[in-house]
Chain A
Amino acid sequence: MISLAGITGSRPALIAVMVMMVALLGIPAVHNGYVEIVFRNILMYAALAYGWNLLGGYAGYVSFGQVAFFGIGTYCSALLNTHGITNIGAGIALAIVVNALVAIVLGIPILRLRGHYFGIATLGLSLAIQDLVANIDALGGTGGLALKQVDDAHFFVYYYAMWAVAAACLLGTWLVARSKLGYAFVAIRENEDAAVVLGVSPTRYKVIAWAIAGAMAGAAGAVYAPANGFIDPAGAFEVDNNVFPIVMSLLGGIGTVAGPFVGALLLAGVNEVLQRFFVKIHTLFFGAMIVLVVMFLPRGIVALIGMRGGWRGFRRSLGAYRV
């Protein structure tokens, strides 16, 4: 289903997101290391969500294994770092190249699977890569790698790097959505077999989609590694990070340009606020919140913004998916 406002999603939401992104440039000025971390995380999750959204929201191939690329990105950056190259840009570049290659090589067999089977294969992939990395001593094994970081006065570098990655993902999604690529993706999502008939080569476009999605996740990982100062297989390939981008894209509005950012801001932001007020049971409230939002806003927040009819329109929308 093409979303309410066409392939890029609701325009006002997109403008709001761009305004917020610009505003976020000012975060380091607050001079609070922790606030910087909070928003850096939001940007990181936004990048992950954009990656997933491109493959899952636009091309319709739901991947449960995005974290595989994120993790590979962290290790690319970490390996450069432990061998003397601490330039963040170099880490990002390597991560993008490696991930794109991995996506292309693995994509050809794996993207032949459809639907649920593709999803599980990607999940298995992320678990397997984690295992593999944990077994290779040259990559630090289970103990992980410690990275050299910049000093406290220059720590904002990591924030801006993550902002740049997130902005690139946002821009990239917007450009792709409006281009031939974007329409090819949607064609594949809506009806892959019909797309073939119409001359759209699905394998080529699916691999491209996965490569871009992997590059986005990898770039985020490449910044995360030095910012965190330490990575190990468990942290780099954290299973939760497979689910969060999906959850964020869904909450924000799947298959739109504004959705992933909104979802990341909402989820990570609310989680943070809950942590502050409910130290012990924040996860419980978090779970309850997700349940309620999905029950009453199944098409995401962005759809809510575009909804007409005010309160009554909302009430009517509640019955859409019931039985």
Chain B
Amino acid sequence: MNFRRIAVVAALALIAILIIPVAPAPAAQDTILFGSPVSLTGALTKEGHLTQEGYEFWKNYVNAHGGIKVGGKTYKVDIKYYDDESKNETAAQLAERLIDQDHVNFILGPYGSGTAFTVAQMVERKKIPMVEGNGAAEKIFSQGFRYTFGVLSPAKRYLEGIVELGREKGAKTVAISAASDAFSLEVAKGAADYATAHGMKVVYDDKYPNDATDVSGVITAIKATNPDIILNAGHLQDALLIHKALKEQNVMAKAYGYSVGPDTPDFVNALGKDANDVFGGAQWSDAVKYKADHPGFYDTAKAYAVAFEKVYHHRPDYHNAESSATCLAFEYALEKAGTLDPEKVRDALAALDVTTFYGILKFDSRGLNVYKPMVTNQIQNGTLVTVFPTGLAEKKPIYPAPPWGSR
């Protein structure tokens, strides 16, 4: 067994496999192929799966109801996924593979702001339209990109609702802690700016490392400032750490709000009764009262939620909804454009103006959906309900929050 020969052959084989693409089954003539890099492993696995669920749910609906009509012809829909491992560069590279190797027509965005940014840069170069629903950092939309559209409200809005709610009830001081990533920092800044602009005082505004294992220092500092409202812009892991630490150190506030956390069932499961009366900012909830003005999908949030739960056995959260909305944007743009030509579809997206179960889908000149309001949810008795804005709310908010132990 001459290892040298084996090694040479193996090396050549490897290089060959890498160069020669696996000949993709030629895209069936009547199929529109979308491509999407999502985080199926890595730190953002959960959210990546939620995104994929949203996409798949839409795809199955469309295919079951005859497909999309583009320019007189009816097309079925298919979506090809790759795992970006929650890494920014990987997402962009995989998106490039989807375009060059798998010949997808369009790109459905990844999960996360960092990944969305790198993919946006790449599609700009390749001139292929992308719609995304899970990257809210405004940085993505301030570069002058023409081929990227975001169906979600910008990051800075996430906690504004909670601040406004508090302000209406007489709160004067706000403490904000943020994880050290671009999205969380934008959320925090947005909340701080909103508070200051509306006459409230921000008494604490600081950040902690992304991989923090203990946040007691942050909590003692917040406690010393005795705020009315305590906000956090971070991730589920931090939200849990902070909330538990707040209780441990006996920090009392009139309202607690998290940018990420309350919307996931994990939050309630992990915290039990202590999760009650906590606010969360969300892009959507199944209680919002929109009615779609276009056929082609579920026309109300409730209808979507009921059907979704039947398939996936859990209440859809806003990540699911915004992902489905992402696909809807393409569906309506394609119908309007009447062709699969990327340039024309891009123009149709830029001019889109429809109301869906998710809210209005309309993009400003930068490609960002500034026309859709955020909702504020609150956990009441273990269930998530929408409490703000008043026009979309299903219940009144509980304010101030009762002391620990009596929730």
Q: Is the beta-carbon distance between A152 and B83 smaller than 8 angstroms?
A: no
Q: Is the beta-carbon distance between B118 and A229 smaller than 8 angstroms?
A: yes
Chain A interface residue number, banded: 35 or more
User: Quick one: given A152-B125, A273-B18, are A33 and B118 in contact (CB under 8 Å)?
Assistant: no
Contact with B along A195-217 (1 / 0, CB 8 A): 00000000000000000000000
User: Quick one: given A152-B126, A310-B2, are A32 and B100 in contact (CB under 8 Å)?
Assistant: yes
Q: Is the beta-carbon distance between A143 and B139 smaller than 8 angstroms?
A: yes
A238 to B100, CA, bound (A): 27
Question: Which residues of A are found within 8 Å of B41, using beta-carbon distances?
Answer: 283
Q: Is the beta-carbon distance between B89 and A228 smaller than 8 angstroms?
A: yes
Report the count of interface residues on B (CB-CB < 8 A): 47
Question: B100: which of A34, A39, A273, A307 is its contact (CB, 8 Å)?
Answer: A34
| Among listed A75-83, A111-119, A264-272, interface-contacting one | A264-272
Contact with B along A227-247 (1 / 0, CB 8 A): 011101011001000000000
User: Quick one: given A32-B101, A34-B96, A38-B18, are A304 and B182 in contact (CB under 8 Å)?
Assistant: no
Check if B122 is an interface residue, CB within 8 A of chain A. Answer: yes
Contact with B along A298-311 (1 / 0, CB 8 A): 00010011010011
Question: Which residues of A are found within 8 Å of B121, using beta-carbon distances?
Answer: 146, 149, 229-230
- CB of A71, distance to nearest CB on chain B (Å): 13
A144 to B41, CA, bound (A): 23
Question: Which residues of B are found within 8 Å of A39, using beta-carbon distances?
Answer: 18
A304 to B2, CA, bound (A): 10
- CB of B93, distance to nearest CB on chain A (Å): 5
Check if B25 is an interface residue, CB within 8 A of chain A. Answer: no
Q: Is the beta-carbon distance between B11 and A235 smaller than 8 angstroms?
A: no
Contact with A along B201-219 (1 / 0, CB 8 A): 0000000011000000000
- The residue on A at minimum CB distance from B209 is A131
Question: Which residues of B are found within 8 Å of A142, using beta-carbon distances?
Answer: 180-182, 185
- The residue on B at minimum CB distance from A233 is B180
- The residue on A at minimum CB distance from B40 is A280
Question: Which residues of A are found within 8 Å of B210, using beta-carbon distances?
Answer: 234
A235 to B22, CA, bound (A): 29
- CB of A84, distance to nearest CB on chain B (Å): 17
Considering only residues 284-323 of chain A, those with a C-beta below 8 Å from chain B are 301, 304-305, 307, 310-311, 314
Q: Is the beta-carbon distance between B3 and A230 smaller than 8 angstroms?
A: no
Check if A35 is an interface residue, CB within 8 A of chain B. Answer: yes
- CB of A32, distance to nearest CB on chain B (Å): 5
Question: A37: which of B11, B96, B117, B126 is its contact (CB, 8 Å)?
Answer: B96
Q: List 27 A-B contacts (CB under 8 A).
A: A16-B7, A20-B11, A30-B19, A32-B101, A33-B96, A33-B100, A34-B99, A35-B18, A37-B96, A142-B182, A143-B186, A149-B121, A228-B118, A229-B92, A232-B114, A234-B88, A234-B114, A234-B210, A235-B87, A238-B87, A265-B15, A269-B14, A269-B15, A273-B18, A304-B7, A305-B3, A311-B1
Q: Which 9 A-B pairs have the closest CB atoms?
A: A34-B97, A143-B182, A34-B100, A311-B1, A310-B1, A229-B121, A33-B100, A269-B14, A37-B93
Given contacts A35-B21, A143-B185, 9 further A-B contacts (CB under 8 A): A33-B100, A37-B93, A142-B180, A146-B139, A229-B118, A229-B122, A234-B181, A272-B18, A279-B82
B-binding residues in A (CB < 8 A): 12, 16, 20, 23, 27, 30, 32-35, 37-39, 41, 131, 134, 141-144, 146, 149, 151-152, 155, 228-230, 232, 234-235, 238, 262, 265-266, 269-270, 272-273, 275-276, 279-280, 282-283, 301, 304-305, 307, 310-311, 314
A-binding residues in B (CB < 8 A): 1-4, 7-8, 11, 14-15, 17-19, 21-22, 40-41, 81-83, 85, 87-89, 92-93, 96-97, 99-101, 114, 117-118, 121-122, 125-126, 137, 139, 143, 180-182, 185-186, 209-210
